[in-house]
Structure 1
């Protein structure tokens, strides 16, 4: 896993990333978007449309991409296409698990395992501490060079997502998921604000579930399918926890019948819901760390011969303090470290 702290204007922060990881960034583009580099002129009209969309909603990302291009020497259109094309997202498989606990020894916490292909993907995950001059500080994780990310901001809002498969599409208008994530991290400070923002924009891109939680103890799960606004799933009032894996739990969006994928998703979901519901998990950072260890792939829930993805990293976010505990690798191979906003 890669780590960086960036400061200053968005253009300056883009330069800092390009200076730190120029070769890794080129490798990412070659691996995930060789089709883009091979025929860039074909995609320039689409990239121009994406540029207009970004400029209208998150103009800071145009500046950051310009900085990336300046320091890495990579064509700006290539970078913009790589960062935002839905085709890139469609080629990335993720099998993540997310858990929110409202009451712990350090206040509300959000935990997540990021499960990816064992080849290449784990090496180019980036944990980034951003301190922009015109927005809240934040700690986020994502693929190197990608724009959208999950994490925690200085206002105490945390977001964690997981892929969820459906064949249902509801329209072609909306904002890409990466832009919505950026708006959540940069414009929202609590779950209520996140809920309002997502109610105003239809979602486009790879279908997913997104669990949001804040430092005041609120959480809500959003089910997101292309062409419709996010479907909120409220936490039952008797629970102080909420979870998601790789399916839509409400039943309001059809789930693809993919047995191997759903076997893992339901096994992890069942382990979390049982241990949290029965009070078998200590409400603490170490307790959630152990829960994430229990559901890592391969591991207790998913034997080696059933694994299609592998846990690339785990993270536990203290939403009241802005601290992220992160374990870069599978539990058998890695130890926890801390990244903090203060």
Structure 2
């Protein structure tokens, strides 16, 4: 255990800590936040958000961090990111789009674009086929090393998610989203079972929307905010399709109004709604592939000078057959390939 007594202004006290423990501080950053040091530029936007939040509520902490940086020689953003490394990771943006179609030439289809930072993120996405001895086979996609994932299982349940920003937190009890995703893929075979599971566990983590669909033609969208159970949004009975992007469509959970983020989200949502509602594409694998191409970032809906994220990959899941069509990259740079459970 280390001990210190500090005195003076917050900036001076920060300097005293940095003077006393420079090597230990570096060791802590290397141990707990090596990812932050390795790719600091990627996290600077999230750190800026944290800085704004701290400045509004505890500005003395900004002064202390500045003093700590001066005496230790460690970059101030690195220190601020390290001191709030869980918050920094939670605030990484993902701008995905998900679409479910109940009737197609191959049965129900779930499609998704995964939109991420153009730096590093696309290179470490993993498409994984799993065949466990104690659960259903599945094809999933996620960050390399992450536990939870989206995809399709052998029972014909598909899930696809997208970030959705809200300032509302409802509690600190519940299960992390990654665990809930694992339970959905490993314990549920249809939308009804998914609905039951999510009704029994509060959600924790970065707020999101999760679209689930099954091989029997059922779908439901779940709005998920920290500290509460998922809010189900049923598909209108006259529609054979359901979609989501990066906001809560029900109006029951308040969204965080971020113009650049919502501009993209609403543009993609509008394009999908119009295309599916007016039947401008075939209800087929190729039709949904074309729809995902239309809403890729940058692209038809989101011009280059408005882009904050880039489509890292696209996927179309045949829920009745257990086949996943995947395009690893932006539509301009990649072609479709197929991964199958059987």
Q: Secondary structure at the match of 2:3?
A: strand
Report the alpha carbon displacement of residue 203 of structure 1 after superposing the two structures with TM.
0.2
Q: Which runs of 5+ in 2 are unaligned?
A: none
Report the alpha carbon displacement of residue 33 of structure 1 after superposing the two structures with TM.
3.9
My pick for the range that moved more, 149-158 or 8-17, is 8-17
My pick for the range that moved more, 20-29 or 240-249, is 20-29
1-side partners of 2:8 and 2:53: how far apart? Answer: 24
The correspondence of residues 5-44 of structure 1 with structure 2, limited to 5 A, is 33-34=33-34
2-side partners of 1:57 and 1:11: how far apart? Answer: 17
Check 1:174–1:268 CA distance in 2 against 1; reply closer, same or farther (3 A cut).
same
Q: What's the counterpart of residue 238 of structure 1?
A: 238
Check 1:259–1:240 CA distance in 2 against 1; reply closer, same or farther (3 A cut).
same
Report the alpha carbon displacement of residue 281 of structure 1 after superposing the two structures with TM.
1.5
Structure exhibiting the larger radius of gyration computed from Cα positions: 2
Contact kept, 8 Å, 1:3 with 1:126, in 2: the verdict is no
Contact kept, 8 Å, 2:204 with 2:226, in 1: the verdict is yes
2-side partners of 1:313 and 1:4: how far apart? Answer: 50
1:243-291 deviations in Å (ceiling 9; x for gaps): 0000000000001110000000000000000010011111000000000
Q: Secondary structure at the match of 1:7?
A: coil
My pick for the range that moved more, 52-61 or 273-282, is 52-61
2-side partners of 1:178 and 1:55: how far apart? Answer: 31
1:169-194 deviations in Å (ceiling 9; x for gaps): 00000000000000000000000000
Q: Secondary structure at the match of 1:99?
A: strand
2-side partners of 1:237 and 1:288: how far apart? Answer: 21
Report the alpha carbon displacement of residue 2 of structure 1 after superposing the two structures with TM.
43
Check 1:104–1:235 CA distance in 2 against 1; reply closer, same or farther (3 A cut).
same
1-side partners of 2:227 and 2:334: how far apart? Answer: 39
Q: Which runs of 5+ in 1 are unaligned?
A: none
Contact kept, 8 Å, 2:46 with 2:88, in 1: the verdict is no
2-side partners of 1:184 and 1:261: how far apart? Answer: 28
Report the alpha carbon displacement of residue 320 of structure 1 after superposing the two structures with TM.
0.2
2-side partners of 1:201 and 1:235: how far apart? Answer: 22
Report the alpha carbon displacement of residue 227 of structure 1 after superposing the two structures with TM.
0.3
TM-score, length basis structure 1: 0.77
1:217 pairs with 2:217 = yes
Check 1:260–1:159 CA distance in 2 against 1; reply closer, same or farther (3 A cut).
same
Report the alpha carbon displacement of residue 92 of structure 1 after superposing the two structures with TM.
2.8
1-side partners of 2:284 and 2:217: how far apart? Answer: 14
Check 1:340–1:173 CA distance in 2 against 1; reply closer, same or farther (3 A cut).
same
My pick for the range that moved more, 225-234 or 45-54, is 45-54
Contact kept, 8 Å, 1:89 with 1:205, in 2: the verdict is no
Report the alpha carbon displacement of residue 93 of structure 1 after superposing the two structures with TM.
1.6
TM-score, length basis structure 2: 0.77
Question: Over aligned residues, Cα RMSD in angstroms?
Answer: 13.3
